[in-house]
Amino acid sequence: MISATEALERLRAGNSRFVSGGQLMESLANPKRRSELKFGQEPFAIILGCSDSRVPAEIVFDFSLGHLFVIRVAGNIVAPSQIGSIEFATEQFGTRLVVVMGHADCGAVLATINELKRPTESRSPNLSAIVDRIRPAVEPLMAAETGETALLNQAVLANIHASVNHLRHGSKILENQISNEGLQIVGAEYSLVSGAVEFLDV
């Protein structure tokens, strides 16, 4: 399996292809690739991203079947099922890079800001489970007198950093892999306007 550094460079190169709008490397509909993967997979990166329909990781990084182990959940939050999925991939496939990818104008982060401004008693408990995981990253920002756009931008970044920190310190398995096996967990933010991914914590 390739190193975290090489995996990160592959993602950067793939995103550059996507941003350029030119010929992409590989079609998602690829029967040959599908056949190659019949007996196993070796994803070189794990992406924990948001469920937003505008941010599909395989397309954003220009990789097709079998290259990326993708976990998508609103607000790119970290809950036990996400940690378990990442532990599974790092142990089963030896993948050495985890990217927590948030994005500009995240609806789940905005919902959290709105909840902190105006608590909604009728909110679904299932949605609250997402909002409540974002809340600790966003709440400290509410006291500052910033405009709504600036607040949302800051909150998105804070939420990404919080998820990265949770993964780095919320699992003994991942902590051991970081210390002894070359695992890297980094944050990233996707721009809805440019299509570019900015890597954080690198």
Residue 202 pLDDT exceeds 60: no
What's phi and psi for 185, nearest 5 deg? -120, 120
Superfamily of domain 4-200: Carbonic anhydrase (3.40.1050.10)
| pLDDT value at residue 16 | 94
Q: Residue 13, Cα to own-chain centre: how many angstroms?
A: 17
pLDDT at 90: 98
pTM over 0.85: yes
Q: What are phi and psi of 30, to 5 degrees?
A: -135, 95
How many angstroms separate the CA atoms of 27 and 110, rounded? 34
In the predicted structure, residue 8 carries a pLDDT above the cut 70:
yes
Mean pLDDT over residues 113-127, rounded? Answer: 80
Q: Where are the beta strands (DSSP E) in 73-156?
A: 97-103
Q: Are 98 and 48 in contact (CB under 8 A)?
A: yes
Q: DSSP 3-state assignment of 60? A: helix
Domain ranges of the chain: 4-200
- pLDDT by residue (tens digit) across 25-46? 666 767 777 887 888 889 999 9
More confident residue, 1 or 71: 71
